[in-house]
């Protein structure tokens, strides 16, 4: 399939030029041309952008997609009380539930211009299948539990996806320091070493978590504990990272680790606010995620970027956009999808905004008029997905 976008204002998210009236050609799954001169290109499909903005798809660098079934559940509770209400509900989930509930979230992602997401949840094999069937890029965190059965599933999935050029990239990690037993930690370590993978987990989301870890782990913060286990040998990072100590921040800088901040979720759960301005000034790498729909009513990355801007007005708007695009792609280890450049993956969105200055401040999900992922325009069966997810939500919450 060959597609040519014409009459586009192109925001490449590189250090190169912005094209005010440009052309972008896609051959198969990759970008084959970008510039102001019309290419000699025999396209199967021509998309007239009518002076709309073309830019890289947004990257949701931390989410639990299937948690759409718990939207508006256990409202107003702090994190640990909220988790105590959520865990019994999650115990009911089946693989089929995960498949359809995840796809309901994917509908929200693409409507808002999110072309890739970093998921961690139950039945990761079903998450991978649902993403491939839907046609969306998925970085999928597999979490060992210390059993041979889970380890075999994880290694089978890694062998299936890790070295393929496909929509799914498997990663390794665990839920959090305070929920991981020794068997889980040993499996994370050995699998990360076997496949030379970075490790991700929830890190320093609350002060209570940090204080508890210091007591449990002989004075070590969650970051120091991960480092002591060798989990950062091949990179990685953490989700939330609100309460990083000064020593933690030095470790993140030295090892080029990724902070994935979730402003909306942290605000709803009253966890606190990550000091992104401080992290940015210290040249730490920050990406953004929505977290699940239960702890954040919205799965919109435009909202997350605006919240990050409102909480940190000294960070330039372009750098906030980078957090939602380029940095997210790098945190997710899909650098081929980070920018609009020749040879990069064709993960592209078309946004109806009059100028670049208004892009972050004013864009709503409804302003996204086209989404291309891996060179294709997703065409899911929305009615079937919503029917399946609604029926399962009613049963799970009954």
Q: Residue 163 pLDDT more than 90? A: no
pLDDT of residue 79: 86
State the chain's mean pLDDT as an integer.
Answer: 97
Same-domain pairing of 265 and 195:
yes
197 located within any domain = yes
pLDDT of residue 357: 87
Burial of 149 (0-12, 13-18, 19+ CB in 10 A): exposed
309 located within any domain = yes
- CA–CA separation, 18 vs 330, rounded Å? 22
The mean pLDDT value for 4-27 works out to 95
Task: Kindly report the number of other CB atoms within 10 A of residue 398's CB atom.
Answer: 6
pLDDT band at 166, cuts 50/70/90? very high
Which of 286, 307, 337 represents a domain boundary (last residue)?
A: 337
DSSP string of 134-183, one letter each residue: HT-EEEEEE---S-HHHHHHHHHHHHHHTTS-SSEEEEEEEEETTT--HH
266 located within any domain = yes
Same-domain pairing of 43 and 81:
no
> Which of 15-24, 168-177, 224-233, 374-383 shows the lowest per-residue confidence on average (mean pLDDT)?
15-24
Same-domain pairing of 137 and 286:
yes
pLDDT of residue 134: 99
pLDDT of residue 78: 87
Q: Which residues pair with 370 in a beta bridge?
A: 350
- Are 256 and 234 in contact by the 8 Å Cβ rule? The answer is no
pLDDT of residue 16: 84
Gyration radius (Cα) of the chain, Å: 20
Same-domain pairing of 42 and 139:
no
pLDDT of residue 266: 96
Same-domain pairing of 317 and 354:
no
Q: Who contacts 91 (Cβ-Cβ below 8 Å, separation ≥6)?
A: none
Which of 310, 337, 364 represents a domain boundary (last residue)?
A: 337
The mean pLDDT value for 12-16 works out to 93
Which of 285, 310, 337 represents a domain boundary (last residue)?
A: 337
121 located within any domain = yes
Same-domain pairing of 99 and 234:
yes
pLDDT tens track for 298-327: 999 999 999 999 999 999 999 999 999 999
- CA–CA separation, 377 vs 333, rounded Å? 23
- What is the helix (H) or strand (E) element at residue 199, kind and residue range? strand 199-203
Which of 102, 62, 78 shows the shortest CA–CA distance to 262?
Answer: 62
pLDDT of residue 297: 87
The mean pLDDT value for 124-152 works out to 97
The mean pLDDT value for 170-185 works out to 97
Q: Residue 76 pLDDT more than 90? A: no
Same-domain pairing of 163 and 79:
yes
Half-sphere exposure of 223 (CA within 13 A, CB side): 26
Say what percent of the chain tops pLDDT 90: 95
Q: Residue 203 pLDDT more than 90? A: yes
CATH of the domain at 244: 3.20.20.140
280 located within any domain = yes
Which of 123, 169, 118 shows the shortest CA–CA distance to 299?
Answer: 118
Q: Is the dihedral of CA 133, 134, 138, 140 positive or negative?
A: negative
394 located within any domain = no
**Domain interval for residue 231:** 58-337
User: How many domains is the chain built from?
Assistant: 2
Same-domain pairing of 160 and 245:
yes
Same-domain pairing of 276 and 372:
no
Same-domain pairing of 219 and 180:
yes
pLDDT tens track for 77-112: 888 898 999 999 999 999 999 999 999 999 999 999
Q: Residue 75 pLDDT more than 90? A: no
Q: Both tokens of residue 273?
A: 């606010």
pLDDT band at 20, cuts 50/70/90? very high
Say what percent of the chain tops pLDDT 70: 100
Q: Both tokens of residue 47?
A: 């998309």
387 located within any domain = no
CATH of the domain at 357: 2.30.40.10
395 located within any domain = no
Torsion of CA 102, 108, 112, 115, to 10 degrees: 20
Same-domain pairing of 35 and 124:
no
The mean pLDDT value for 365-388 works out to 98
- CA–CA separation, 337 vs 332, rounded Å? 10
pLDDT of residue 262: 98
pLDDT of residue 22: 97
Same-domain pairing of 223 and 86:
yes
């Amino acid at each position: 399939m060959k597609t040519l976008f014409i009459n586009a204002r192109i925001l490449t998210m590189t250090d190169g030029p912005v094209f005010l009236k440009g052309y972008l050609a896609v051959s198969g799954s990759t970008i084959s041309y970008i510039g102001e001169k019309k290419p000699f290109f025999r396209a199967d499909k021509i998309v007239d952008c009518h002076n709309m903005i073309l830019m890289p798809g947004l990257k949701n660098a931390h989410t639990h997609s299937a948690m759409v079934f718990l939207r508006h559940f256990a409202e107003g509770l702090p994190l640990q009380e909220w988790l105590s209400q959520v865990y019994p509900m999650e115990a009911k989930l089946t693989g089929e539930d995960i498949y359809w509930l995840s796809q309901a979230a994917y509908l929200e992602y693409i409507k808002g211009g999110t072309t890739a997401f970093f998921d961690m949840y139950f039945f990761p094999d079903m998450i991978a299948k649902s993403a491939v069937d839907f046609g969306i890029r998925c970085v999928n965190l597999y979490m060992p539990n210390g059993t041979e059965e889970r380890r075999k599933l994880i290694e089978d999935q890694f062998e299936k996806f890790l070295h393929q050029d496909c929509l799914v990239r498997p990663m390794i990690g665990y839920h959090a320091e305070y929920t991981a037993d020794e068997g889980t930690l040993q499996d994370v370590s050995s699998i990360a070493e076997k496949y030379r993978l970075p490790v991700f987990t929830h890190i320093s989301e609350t002060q209570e978590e940090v204080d508890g870890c210091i007591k449990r782990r002989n004075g070590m913060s969650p970051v120091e504990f991960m480092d002591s286990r060798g989990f950062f040998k091949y990179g990685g990072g953490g989700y939330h990272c609100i309460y990083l100590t000064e020593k933690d921040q030095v470790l993140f800088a030295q090892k080029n680790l990724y902070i994935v901040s979730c402003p909306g979720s942290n605000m709803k759960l009253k966890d606190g606010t990550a000091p992104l301005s401080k992290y940015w000034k210290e040249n730490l790498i920050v990406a953004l995620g929505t977290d699940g729909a239960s702890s954040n009513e919205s799965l919109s990355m435009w909202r997350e970027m605006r919240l990050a801007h409102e909480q940190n007005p000294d960070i330039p708007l372009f750098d906030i956009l980078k957090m939602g695009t380029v940095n997210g792609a790098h945190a997710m280890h899909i650098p081929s999808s980070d920018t609009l450049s020749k040879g990069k993956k064709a993960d592209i969105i078309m946004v109806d905004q009059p100028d670049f200055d208004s892009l972050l401040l004013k864009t709503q999900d409804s302003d996204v008029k086209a989404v291309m992922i891996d060179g294709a325009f997703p065409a899911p069966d929305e009615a079937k997905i919503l029917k399946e997810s609604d029926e399962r939500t009613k049963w799970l919450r009954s």
